[in-house]
Structure 1
Amino acid sequence: MSIQHIWEIRAKNTPLLKKKCNHCDSERFASSDKFRLNAQKKNIDIWLIYRCVKCNNTYNMTLFSRIRTESVSKEIFSKMSENNTEIAWEYAFSHEIRRKNNVEADTDSVEYEILYHEIHEEEMINPDSEMLTFKIKCPFDFNLRISAVIRTALNLSSAKLNRLIEADAIWFDGKPLLKKHKIKNGDIVQVHKAKLKSVL
């Protein structure tokens, strides 16, 4: 029976925003992981606070505008009131929130680590399956190419990865891998064992 391995990608920081500061010459803002809440009668506004990386000038990214207080769940409202980092990261990585605010993320600014286990020789020669199977765990989307993850986790040079791609030895979500493929949580990568051994 084929074993499904896990490749876990952990972001170390939230993406910077590409935004010109009106106080200095900087073009990047970083999330403070803090919220600003403003309640007026039965309506509420909620922002995620960003700060210029050079002068600390603030930019408030709108999360909710003029909504009824009961429209936000008590759990989420409580977390925002307490500046919960986990939920701040969810909004900082949200494409939809950035789109609504007409701002762009600098996804190259996200540092990350890949947690994986090396493949043992026994599994490489296991006759039960001809493919190695890997599942991606990556809760945040920051335009990371799957090819970068594969090279790191399988310790492949760029040339060896190219040879595997040309030989249709790597499949991504049921299709031959293309270098442009970006990862998302739950993706499945399959690698042909014999072809992998031939380049190692």
Structure 2
Amino acid sequence: MQTIHWRVEATSAPAAVRPCDACGAEARFESTGRFRVNAQKKRLDVWLIYRCAACGSVWNCAVIGRRRSESVGRERLVRFMDNDPDLALECALDAGLLKRNGARRGPVSFAVEGELPGGEDCRVEIEAEGLAGIRLAEVLKLALSRSELERLVEARDVACVDGSDVLKAKLRPHWTVVVRARS
């Protein structure tokens, strides 16, 4: 059986959805990709800065609060201070971080790198770091229509190796899906 590798990556930072104090309603906040770093004595605070898409007001999403700078690590601290775009994206994708700050992650735009299954049975190894919460079916729909995917799952031509329901399962960092050749 042939093995195909797919890498799923976010193409941009998703919006954070939360109440906007200025708008007076729930709003989409876009990440600026910039951090605010503040140190008092030996304690450190770091926020990822967001702007309301409707009114432009600023919201600071707490990434690190009142921690000793040594516990953050020098390399990571430099990345915060340099507004590292990969670190900003990693923080914006962290649904747990947003939840702790009273927000939820909006839809994630993503791209899949890898070849499509051909005319023989294959295993599709899917790597998707940091994209928890996206449905596996959304990734598979890039190669198939929703109705075709449903038909193939029902016929057991597309299945998760661990027995999870392909149509309901959420992405994990590593997935394996078996795709049987269509006759």
TM-score with structure 2 length normalisation?
A: 0.89
Compared CA separation, residues 6 and 176, structure 1 to 2 (3 A): same
**Which residue of structure 1 aligns with residue 5 of structure 2?**
6
**Which residue of structure 2 aligns with residue 148 of structure 1?**
138
Structure 2 gaps of 5+ residues are none
Compared CA separation, residues 190 and 85, structure 1 to 2 (3 A): same
Instruction: Report the identity percentage.
Output: 29
C-alpha deviation, 1:18, in angstroms: 1.0
**Which protein shows a greater Rg?**
1
Q: Aligned pair count? A: 182
Q: Is the 8 A contact 1:168 1:176 kept in 2?
A: no
Pair 1:95 & 2:76 matched: no
Aligned partner of 1:189 among 155, 177, 183: 177
Structure 1 runs (4+) deviating above 4 angstroms are none
- What pairs up with 1:1-200 in 2 under 5 angstroms? 2-24=1-23, 27-106=27-106, 108=107, 110-121=108-119, 124=120, 131-141=121-131, 143-153=133-143, 156-175=144-163, 177-193=165-181, 197-198=182-183
The structure with the greater share of residues assigned to helix is 1
Classify the secondary structure of the residue corresponding to 2:122: strand
Task: Tell me how large the CA RMSD over aligned residues is.
Answer: 1.9
Equivalent-residue separation in structure 2 for 1:176 and 1:73 (angstroms) = 38
Equivalent-residue separation in structure 2 for 1:92 and 1:8 (angstroms) = 19
Structure 1 gaps of 5+ residues are 125-130
The structure with the greater share of residues assigned to strand is 2
Classify the secondary structure of the residue corresponding to 1:152: coil
TM-score with structure 1 length normalisation?
A: 0.82
